[in-house]
Amino acid sequence: MAALGGDGLRLLSVSRPERQPESAALGGPGPGLCCWVSVFSCLSLACSYVGSLYVWKSELPRDHPAVIKRRFTSVLVVSSLSPLCVLLWRELTGIQPGTSLLTLMGFRLEGIFPAALLPLLLTMILFLGPLMQLSMDCPCDLADGLKVVLAPRSWARCLTDMRWLRNQVIAPLTEELVFRACMLPMLAPCTGLGPAVFTCPLFFGVAHFHHIFEQLRFRQSSVGSIFLSAAFQFSYTAVFGAYTAFLFIRTGSGSWTQGPDPSDGASSLCPLRGWRVH
């Protein structure tokens, strides 16, 4: 996960914020404005992440090593700056003014081992089916396959393969940082924890539509096949994004909880103000 740490498999508790004076309520932005700020911030992050891939003009395909190296640079820059968007969002909405940025994004040492180990085991079980199918289709037996996988030469070859580094290292790390650690803290106070699990992956899924333009540009397939492939990719990236967002929240990575109840008389408050860290 992008941000690991928390209290194991403990669902974040729900608490009511301390009621604020009426003057504070009148001075803060309305709930609608806060939600728009949250959505716009997430949209800006998604557009910046995808847009960074196209700042380099090139006639080469996306799998060319030179193109991959350039995109590594731009994506790493955007990902490194993405926490600043969360910081700006916090200043605009007033959420968690006394909370550190890393804590807000879920980076903490408390409970890091169960929060890292249990999702890892669960994800391994999730991919057990494809791995078994791969082993059945492989002409070599299990022992020979394990020798190849565990051989230092195989790993050295992977570490020099730009496509492997992109698919297995850079893309997962940067995507989890931007689309989970940065977006979920901004969406959860506005939508609630449950809806945020299904809302956040939509940004993640839509961000993969940019592959359509490259496939059409290089005419890698028919138009119908390209759009069908894009729809399928959106589906499974959105589902997997919901899975990782659920793990992020379920392991207690986030420091945020449920927002204020309108029955408390704070309906004019921004739903992001007055939240407490547990």
Determine the straight-line distance between the first and last CA of the chain, rounded to whole angstroms: 21
| Exposure string over 195-205, b if 16+ CB within 10 A, otherwise e | ebbebbbbbbb
Distances (CA, A) of 5 to 37, 92, 113, 123, 149: 27, 27, 7, 17, 29
Cα four-point dihedral sign 268, 271, 273, 278: positive
Task: Calculate mean pLDDT across residues 44-69.
Answer: 91
The residues, any chain, with a CB within 8 Å of residue 124's CB and separated by 6 or more, are none
Predicted structure pTM score: 0.75
Catalytic sites, residue numbers: 175, 208
Cα(51)–Cα(124) distance, integer angstroms: 32
**Tokens standing for residue 218:** 């290089």
Read off the pLDDT of residues 183-200 as tens digits, 9 standing for 90 and up.
999 998 888 889 999 999
pLDDT tens-digit readout, 90-146: 888 887 667 788 888 888 888 888 888 989 999 989 888 887 777 777 777 767 777
Ranges of each domain in the chain: 31-252
What number of CA atoms fall less than 13 Å from residue 110's CA on the CB side?
11
Mean pLDDT of 30-34: 72
